[in-house]
Chain A
């Protein structure tokens, strides 16, 4: 069994942005997958603490976490609006279409576009993935190479939005090797390859 990393520990508080860096294959994406509950670590634990001090049950993590990662895709047979409607429904959100449309406009997508996501450029699909992650106003956001496929205006928007999220008291975790994204965080964690 290959050990990806050992002895990783730390905590992030509301309003804090953590940047995870490291060479290709060092385990940045694996660490993010563990942090958001998609992978179980062979040893150790991940905990999310509620404001009342209790640990958040694992079943409820999804409600409080938003994730944008290259290994996670939205449904390419559906339109952008249909994707957001679907994620809102399965998350039990009471959002109306107006909310979805506003969110799509916020990330720079046309809500009236009837093309399925299959016809989107990688940058547009990335914007939709970001909209999906913001849909339920999560307390903790994970961005894995989030600006990688965005054009300069998209990168500017994402940087502004990440800073806004931090100001709102949300925790942001960025896994990146992009020099610009590295400046968005208040703390850096380097993984050795």
Chain B
């Protein structure tokens, strides 16, 4: 197990090192997120929404920004391996599950970095008050994990196709939509302080992310090899 983990960490560390030197995915994520946030905060701002609608609508806006920023940058992990012709050697050198876990870790780092930058900025600019801040962090973390799991397996599938850009969004959407609905409910619950609804949402997010993790772990070797 420790050897498997060390190999997966090596894949993630390699991707992060390469990413910090080129900053392609980081720039895509950050630019998309900041541009959308600027547009939303400029047009809607903290006071244009009715008080009773604020928790729900701001939760929707927050996750839409995160969701589309993720779609703009998280497909790079596998597409780059194929485009730069490094995938064949990686296929020969590493076990498929190691590659999958490494890429998932890399996407997790990117999505958590995006959330760490975006969520506080969104709350300040949009005046989004959270009744249960620590539980808000938990919802973000669980939702971010689910987002990373789904985008990782979809990125692996579309990396083999020619029309990658369009396919990533088309395939991700039906898989991410149920998750998006639940994380919005969870975020609304932590904003209003509704503990029962929060617990229910968190349980649903964890279940969905867990199920996608298991499905991905079994599906990935087939996608990667064939």
Binding site for B on A (CB under 8 A): 33, 36-38, 40, 59, 61-62, 65, 67, 69, 71-78, 82, 86-87, 89-92, 116, 132
Please report whether the interface of chain A is mostly helix, strand, loop or mixed according to DSSP. Answer: loop
Structural contact, A62 and B93, CB atoms closer than 8 A? yes
A76/B7 contact (C-beta < 8 A), A67-B89, A90-B93 known? no
Q: Quick one: CB contact mask for B176-192 with A, threshold 8 Å, 1 for yes?
A: 00000000000000000
When chains A and B are docked, how far (Å) is the Cα of A72 from the Cα of B91? Answer: 11
User: Which of B86, B89, B94 has the most chain A CB within a 10 Å cutoff?
Assistant: B89
Q: Quick one: CB contact mask for B124-149 with A, threshold 8 Å, 1 for yes?
A: 00000000000000000000000000
Structural contact, B92 and A82, CB atoms closer than 8 A? no
Give the tally of cross-chain contacts (CB within 8 A).
65
Structural contact, A87 and B93, CB atoms closer than 8 A? yes
Residues on A with beta carbons closer than 8 Å to the beta carbon of B6:
89, 92
Residues on A with beta carbons closer than 8 Å to the beta carbon of B7:
89-90, 92
Structural contact, B94 and A91, CB atoms closer than 8 A? yes
User: Which of A69, A73, A90 has the most chain B CB within a 10 Å cutoff?
Assistant: A90
When chains A and B are docked, how far (Å) is the Cα of A92 from the Cα of B90? Answer: 13
A37/B17 contact (C-beta < 8 A), A71-B85, A90-B11 known? no
Contact of A132 among B17, B21, B89, B91 (CB under 8 A): B89
Contact of A37 among B92, B94, B95, B98 (CB under 8 A): B92
Contact of A78 among B18, B88, B89 (CB under 8 A): B18
Contact of B93 among A69, A77, A91 (CB under 8 A): A91
Contact of A90 among B10, B21, B88 (CB under 8 A): B10
B84 at the interface (CB under 8 A from A): yes
